[in-house]
Structure 1
Amino acid sequence: MGEATAKPIDADSIETVLIVAGSGRMLAQAARKAGLKPLVIDLFADLDTQSYAEDFRQVKSLAEQDLAPAVDYFIDRYAVAHVIYGSGFEGCLESLYYLNSRLIILGNHPDVFTRQFDKQAFFSVLDQLNIPYPDVVFSAPDCAENWLVKPMQGQGGIGIKRYYANAADSSVYWQKFQTGTAHSVLFLADGQQVEIIGFNTQWPVRLSETQEFVFSGLVNNADLQDKHKTEIMGWLKQMVPVFQLKGLNSLDFVHAKDCSYVLEINPRLSASMQLYDDQDLLVRHIQASVGTTLFAQRLDSGWLKAPLQTGYQVIYAEHELIIPDYFEWPGWCMDLPKPGNMCRAGQPLCSIIAHQNNLQSVVEQLLTKQQFIINKLERF
């Protein structure tokens, strides 16, 4: 079957949308807020995902053979025509092409998504644009000191580890470890124009000796001078048309000693969109994807405004546990596993959110809430 290409889309005419992701809660919640009817395919079918979804299907993986029956079900039953994808496709690139053959994708085309994981080409583009990044090589370095091994098709820091010995593996590359603070910038694009939504600070969690860079949380606060934000805006203005990025995307970077270094582009909706829930970001994502959005040319004005600071964090299981029956999750918890679910050590338990007037208070509240949940589960 050929690609689902059609006449220009009227974003306002879309009522029902299929959401496919490793975890679909965030997008289902955003779709409900936008007045859409979300149909969800994901790996967990969390309690709150089910509450937001018009209908849902849980699948074993996002591989095409597991995805196809669920997609068929929703097309046959609801005649859904549009799909929004989230995280989880980094290791299932062929599945995006399958979705594109059945539905109209609202977001980056699979070719655009896939291009971000051709790391040699990606860093070559950065070289051409004179955009700095930590040193990268594609064969094992002779000296192991201060090198990281990274998967070509990684997500959320999973699989990144320190390099200790020679290895020959075409699915990884090597990047020099760069000290500094980890940041991301959430931005909206239509293939040519770009608008900054916000700059964020993020942090990893060390789950084991070989998993010490796993995404843990982020806050919509970045201790960056306006000159650095302006510089990164300039980089995005170059990268968006080169990569033909559309919709909401995020750029990860490290800042150290008055310099910023690009790590990667996440060519999909990311967790940071939850930090800006006072904006209709999913609506704007759809509009940008179909070319009907208006871009705010706000530079310094948007950065000087101090919004309520919001933090988001994933809580990981410290050891193997089973979610108890009748467990009462606080209202600030999200991605709620079903009773009886087995959570193994290092797997996500849930996620939490906090709102405060300053960065320190946000971080403290996240830590307090995390400990509350861990303690409460331990008592069962």
Structure 2
Amino acid sequence: MTGEAVLIAAQSGRALAAAARRAGYRPFVADLFGDEDTRALAEGYRRVPGRLGTGLGARAVEAALAALAAEAGAPVGLVLGSGFEGAPGLMWRLAGRHRLLGAAPEAVAALKDPVGFAALCGRLGIPHPEIALAPVPDPQAWLAKWRGASGGGHIRPATPGRLPAGAYLQRRVPGLPRSLNALADGRTVAVLAVTEQWAAPGPGRPFRYAGAAGPGTLPAAVQCGAERALAGLVATTGLRGLVSADLLVDGERWWLLEVNPRPGATLDVLDRGPAPLFSAHVAASSGRLPNTSALPQGAAASEILYAGPAIPAVPLLDWPDWAMDRPAAGSRVEAGAPVCTVLAGGPDARSARRAVALRAKALRARLEEGPADTARALAGHPFTLGKVSQDPLSCVG
């Protein structure tokens, strides 16, 4: 048995577990899904019911991590993925029992409180959409969001009347969604790549996250401004580890929507260079920014495949190696729920995005129409996963 043990907890832990394995760690994972490839990657595994941050889910994740830590022996620490942004109390309790590799609870609280974050952006001169905590006279110009949520599925057009508990309003601004992906050491940042995102609208979820592709590009002025903004936020909050800043970019204008204080959905797209990003995350969490400039050529894209109607029982499939987060045969997938993640590559982000869309379409046909009818369709799309590259950037100052 080789490699240090590491604890991982997330809504879906597969990407982090794969990144940990690539970096030579032995992952012990707690998540909500228990997908087949997550279990195969994990040295130890516990499935957590409910939501990670509240009620039964919060107590269950604490118990799961305690059991996994005992099983691991002496894990190097705990990496938290999505699902904890709205639960600073849980993060504090976990930090009291395990060494957190990544953002501290106080940094997450500062970045995920909409009022505090808007005020912080104002003090640092960072363009950020106006927010409101009470009904507005022109709701059509606003979006309703939930504190501490992630993935875009919580975002709705604002409606007249009183806001539900936990909701706030953010003024609509124009632009294309982009992210600045970086490593932070508590003082400054090392930018890894720009990625582009897109939505997969579903019933009542017009902004549901679909996928990401990269590396992409930003106008030079936007690039430098966004880098300086993220560096300022890191210096102010002490943020550490793999992080990303979500932007809307409209020509030379841009707005910072939020900072994701954790490894995010672009990990599959970016972790293809000679230096594993999980190792870089651990180093940055300890206050050391590693050299990440030697990244290979090419681009990659990932897309979440959502169920249309419910899938009563996932068929027994010979899953292609470019499909991740694979549900167990016979498991039920509710209508609109994520089925799996599809990966593809290409010479640039646009090509990779086209390739991943074709693969997702073929796999959807296989799931909905039956393996016998669509194996030929899958065989017709033998795309090879590409590599991600990004020249080192030097606009932070």
Tell me, in whole angstroms, the C-alpha distance in 1 between the residues paired with 2:296 and 2:196: 15
Contact preservation (8 Å) 1:64, 1:94: no
TM-score under structure 2 normalisation? 0.87
Contact preservation (8 Å) 2:180, 2:194: yes
**Residue in structure 2 matched with residue 25 of structure 1 by the alignment:** 14
**Residue in structure 1 matched with residue 73 of structure 2 by the alignment:** 79
Q: Where do 1:185-200 residues align within 5 Å? A: 185-200=180-195
Report the CA distance between 1:138 and its aligned residue: 1.8
Tell me, in whole angstroms, the C-alpha distance in 2 between the residues paired with 1:75 and 1:306: 35
**Residue in structure 2 matched with residue 152 of structure 1 by the alignment:** 147
Report the CA distance between 1:223 and its aligned residue: 4.0
1:104 and 2:93 aligned: no
Report the CA distance between 1:361 and its aligned residue: 2.0
**Residue in structure 2 matched with residue 49 of structure 1 by the alignment:** 38
Contact preservation (8 Å) 1:39, 1:53: yes
CA, structure 1 residues 179+104, in 2 after alignment: closer, same or farther (shift >3 Å)?
same
Q: 1:340 aligns with which of 327, 330, 340?
A: 330
CA, structure 1 residues 25+108, in 2 after alignment: closer, same or farther (shift >3 Å)?
same
Report the CA distance between 1:351 and its aligned residue: 0.4
Report the CA distance between 1:28 and its aligned residue: 0.5
Report the CA distance between 1:170 and its aligned residue: 4.1
**Residue in structure 1 matched with residue 126 of structure 2 by the alignment:** 131
1:378 and 2:372 aligned: no
1:58 and 2:52 aligned: no
**Residue in structure 2 matched with residue 276 of structure 1 by the alignment:** 270
Contact preservation (8 Å) 2:316, 2:330: no
SS at match of 2:268: helix
Tell me, in whole angstroms, the C-alpha distance in 1 between the residues paired with 2:222 and 2:134: 32
Tell me, in whole angstroms, the C-alpha distance in 1 between the residues paired with 2:193 and 2:249: 16
CA, structure 1 residues 358+294, in 2 after alignment: closer, same or farther (shift >3 Å)?
closer
1:356 and 2:346 aligned: yes
State the one-letter code of the partner of 2:228: G
Q: 2:255 aligns with which of 261, 264, 281?
A: 261
Contact preservation (8 Å) 1:74, 1:80: no
Q: What do you get for the CA RMSD once the two structures are aligned?
A: 1.9
Aligned length: 361
Contact preservation (8 Å) 2:314, 2:332: no
Tell me, in whole angstroms, the C-alpha distance in 2 between the residues paired with 1:326 and 1:145: 46
Report the CA distance between 1:197 and its aligned residue: 0.5
Q: 1:169 aligns with which of 164, 167, 180?
A: 164
Report the CA distance between 1:306 and its aligned residue: 8.7
State the one-letter code of the partner of 1:85: L
Please list every run of 5 or more consecutive structure 2 residues that lacks an aligned counterpart in the other structure: 371-397
**Residue in structure 2 matched with residue 35 of structure 1 by the alignment:** 24
State the one-letter code of the partner of 1:236: L
Contact preservation (8 Å) 1:249, 1:270: yes
Contact preservation (8 Å) 1:311, 1:355: yes
State the one-letter code of the partner of 1:282: F
Tell me, in whole angstroms, the C-alpha distance in 1 between the residues paired with 2:110 and 2:165: 16
